[in-house]
Amino acid sequence: MSKQPTPAKDLTIWEDAQKMIEKARRDGVETVWDRFEQQQPGCKFCELGLTCKNCNMGPCRISLKEDGKMQRGVCGADGDVIVARNFGRFVAGGSAGHSDHGRDLIEVLEAITEGEAHDYKISDEDKLRRVSAELGISVDNRETMAIAKDLVEACFADFGSRRKELGFVSRVPEVRREIWKKYKVMPRGVDREIAEMMHRTHMGCDNDAVSTLLHSAKTALADGWGGSMIGTELSDIIFGVPTPSRSQVNLGVIKADMVNILVHGHNPVVSEMVLAAARNPEMIAQAQKAGAEGINIGGLCCTGNELLGRQGIPMAGNHLMTELAIVTGAVEAVVVDYQCIMPSMVQVAACYHTKFITTADKAQFTGATHISFNTATAADQAKEIIEMAIAAYALRDQSRVEIPVAAVDTITGFSNEALLNMLGGSLDPLLDAVKEGSIRGVAAIVGCNNPKFQHDSQNVGLAKELIKKDILVLATGCITTAAGKAGLLVPEGSEMAGPGLKKICSALKIPPVLHFGSCVDNSRVIHLCGLIANALGVDISDLPVWGSSPEWYSEKAVAIGLYCVASGIPVHIGTPPQITGSKLVTDIALNGLENIFGAAFLVEPDYVKAAEKMDERIKLKRLSLGLSA
Ligand code: XCC
Ligand code: SF4
């Protein structure tokens, strides 16, 4: 007898997702949950981090049974070393992802300065000058393009190995920099730290778990204060600083009578052009000729967040919604750049009329339509993409279309600049609110979904618990859509907040959860913490703040978590990374890091308990700052 499938309501908290999981089952489409089930039970050795395949004397695995067998790999590496090495490579992977994304933005800015990217421009000259000045570039009485050229060079230099420390380390409080120097984790070049991580974890190099873990922190710091921060700042310069605007979320943003194009991945370079082409009257006329009302762009994952923050483009869904968006049967094209794009999207798209279009040469998918996107020809290529989507519209089978819910309203697009602006140009009102206890603390929840949890149950649950305790929540990455669907991204959401936060939200007309952008935009969060710490004359680790990623899945999430911890921000995660096979490494992650960085990881799969533990620490930090708990 075949096993009954798990009821959809146990897999996700959302009605749109439940309905689409059921439709996927009717349509014979396999989803992430089906594959997750097929993969159970997972490999124990791998789960514990105790497998090594770093050389061809192996692969090796370490037994936790202390019977003398398999206590060391063929080369002699023990479990601690193997776990630390695997973790280090995991962090390097995540840091590489964010940072290579950041580098792509430098290349766009470079092409703009060379006159080779006519479809792009510098949208925010003020920010260009501000950021350049911060990096020591002279800006007075200089032409915009001359400054931009210097900024390009300064950013590229941060990737190499000729500097002692990254440019944006200037944003880090002095006391924190001293800690980094003391433990030799001051990040130098981004590529350098990542390459060194690969080197250290080659057989016969760094065979001391503590040493490897410290370099993991250094690598992550190079991501946070380097690659990611460059990604954020240059995206703002090229496409504009996010400012709050109204938008909508969930699968209801897909429109039955429109040519629907979903943009997915992380980088705004392609999606901004697709959006511009979709707004071109000529393209709209073509879509209407094909029988549609117009062209509708929706976002998925972080590319969605980039467009949501800057252009108010609605969000169709987060990570675990990406396959389900296609299952609506109303999506003409999914246009992707890179990261977090499930390879299965090709198969799901093939079950419908959906065109799956890849655009980055470094992220190609067998079976997809590939357009090798080039900044010199961006607008034309974006038009080509829109035309493909319009052509696909003619093939849509309306009888297979099901748009399960109506869209929910949100206000999104906060940034440090927008926040300062709202506060009247100074951080003081925010600091006053923290001091008097209306806002007791701040927690940044970093998106992701993972089928190990009921989809978004932890993301939404934790956000609600925290705001109840008057803790302001900043949302980045995939939690954005979740918070939006839960009604937390509108000012009325403050009805769910504690009295203090509610008062502040009403006064400023802001939601209790502020959308702070994509996952590279966690650089905004650490930057903000640096600004606050400097304003108060303390270290970041003295602040009543937290990071959290309850449903994390990706290498990038661990890199973010680690750069937050190394910057002094404790981080809650819902599941541990693959390190629990080493007591030493696990102890360092949960406790030891506290002694070095004044912050460590908290692993807690239950969001209610997590919120309580986070609150406990916030109380302690408030008391040590001389504030009421
Ligand atoms: Fe990916 Fe950024 Fe995670 Fe979402 S949140 S699943 S990393 S898209 Ni960053
Ligand atoms: Fe095995 Fe050592 Fe090679 Fe890893 S590096 S596979 S532990 S022999």
Measured distance CA(334)–CA(101) in Å, rounded: 20
CB atoms within 10 A of CB 621: 21
Residue numbers of the chain with a pLDDT score lower than 50: none
Q: Which ligand is nearest to the CA of 455?
A: 1
Q: How far does residue 447's CA lie from ligand 1's centre (Å)? A: 6
Quick one: tokens of 77? 């590496």
The Å distance, Cα 543 to ligand 2 centre, comes to: 42
At 2 the pLDDT is: 64
Q: Is the CB of 98 under 6 A from ligand 1?
A: no
Compute the distance from residue 61 Cα to the ligand 2 centre, in Å. Answer: 9
Position in ligand 2 atom list of the atom nearest CA 53: 6
Residue with tokens 């940072």: 99
Q: For ligand 1, what atom is nearest to the CA of residue 479?
A: 5
What is the whole-number distance in angstroms between the Cα of residue 82 and the centre of ligand 2?
Answer: 8
Residue nearest to atom 3 of ligand 1 (CA): 448
Ligand 2 midpoint to CA 58 (Å): 5
How far apart CA 270 and CA 382 sit, in angstroms, is 8
Ligand 1 touching residue 558 (CB < 6 A): no
Name the burial class of residue 4, with classes exposed (0-12), middle (13-18) and buried (19+) by CB atoms within 10 angstroms of its CB: exposed
Cα 87 to middle of ligand 2, angstroms? 15
The model's pLDDT over 457-478, given as tens digits with 9 standing for 90+, comes to: 999 999 999 999 999 999 999 9
ipTM over 0.85: yes
Ligand nearest the Cα of residue 97 is 1
- In our burial notation (b when 16+ CB lie closer than 10 A, e otherwise), range 575-609 reads bbbbbbbbebbbebbeebbeebbbbbbbbbeebee
Residue-by-residue DSSP string for 87-106 = HHHHHHHHHHHHHHHHHHHH
Indicate the class that CATH gives domain 245-400.
Answer: alpha beta
Task: Tell me how far apart the alpha carbons of residues 249 and 509 are, in angstroms, rounded to a whole number.
Answer: 20
Q: What separation in Å is there between the alpha carbon of 560 and the centre of ligand 1?
A: 11
Q: Over pLDDT 90: what percentage of the chain?
A: 98
Of all ligands present, the nearest one to the C-alpha of 50 is: 2
How many whole angstroms from 66 Cα to the centroid of ligand 2?
Answer: 19
Q: Where are the domains of the chain?
A: 79-239, 245-400, 412-624
Pocket test for ligand 2, best of 63, 72, 75, 78 (most atoms within 8 A of CB): 75
Using one digit for the tens of pLDDT, what is the confidence trace for 276-318? 999 999 999 999 999 999 999 999 999 999 999 999 999 999 9
Sequence-distant (6+) residues with CB within 8 A of 452 are: 36, 551, 574, 575
Atom of ligand 2 nearest to the CA of 72: 7
336 lines ligand 1 (CB under 6 A): no
Ligand 2 pocket mutation pick from 74, 86, 200 by most atoms within 8 angstroms of CB: 74
Q: Classify residue 56 as left (phi > 0), alpha (psi -120 to 50) or beta.
A: alpha
User: Between the CA atoms of 38, 39, 41 and 43, what dihedral angle is there, to the nearest 10 degrees?
Assistant: 160
Closest listed residue to residue 386, CA positions, set 333, 326, 346, 338: 333
Q: How far apart are CA 98 and CA 560, in angstroms?
A: 9
**Residue 248: strand, helix, or coil:** strand
Atom of ligand 2 nearest to the CA of 59: 6
Question: Residue 554 CA: which ligand 1 atom is closest?
Answer: 7
DSSP letter at 40 equals: P
581 Cβ neighbours under 8 A, 6+ residues apart: 45, 48, 49, 50, 62, 64, 79, 82, 83
Annotated binding-site positions for [Ni-4Fe-4S] cluster: 266, 302, 340, 448, 478, 519
Give all strands (DSSP E) within 405-498, no chain letters.
408-412, 441-446, 471-476
C-alpha 343/C-alpha 554 separation (Å) is 15
One-letter identity of residue 207: N
Q: Which residue minimizes the CA distance to atom 1 of ligand 1? A: 340
Q: Output the CA 147–ligand 1 centroid distance in Å.
A: 33
pLDDT at 164: 87
User: 267, 340, 480, 553: which to mutate for ligand 1, most atoms within 8 A of CB?
Assistant: 340
519 lines ligand 1 (CB under 6 A): yes
Mutate to test the pocket of ligand 1, among 235, 305, 320, 519 (most ligand atoms within 8 A of CB): 519
> Can you give the pLDDT at residue 67?
87
Tokens representing 525?
Answer: 């969060």
- Among 363, 413, 320, 412, residue whose Cα is nearest residue 101: 363
Classified by CATH at the fold level, domain 412-624 comes out as Rossmann fold (3.40.50)
Q: Cα dist. 311→41, 192, 235, 298, 515 in Å?
A: 43, 35, 13, 11, 13
What is d(CA 257, CA 259) in angstroms, rounded to the nearest whole number? Answer: 7
Give the ligand at the shortest distance from the Cα of 45: 2
Ligand 1 center to 319 CA (angstroms): 7
Task: State in Å: Cα 448 to ligand 1 middle.
Answer: 5
Q: Which residue has its alpha carbon closest to ligand 2 atom 3?
A: 55
Per-residue confidence (pLDDT) for residue 3, from 0 to 100: 78
Architecture of domain 79-239: Up-down Bundle (1.20)
Specify the residue with its C-alpha closest to ligand 2, atom 2: 75
Atom 8 in ligand 1: residue holding the nearest Cα = 301
Residues enclosing ligand 2, CB less than 6 A? 52-55, 57-60, 73-75, 77, 82, 203
Domains 245-400 and 412-624 agree in fold: yes
Counting ligands in written order, which one lies closest to the CA of residue 51?
2
User: Do the Cβ atoms of 472 and 512 come closer than 8 Å?
Assistant: yes
Task: Give the tokens for residue 557.
Answer: 């999430």
Please say whether the beta carbons of 584 and 558 come within 8 A: no
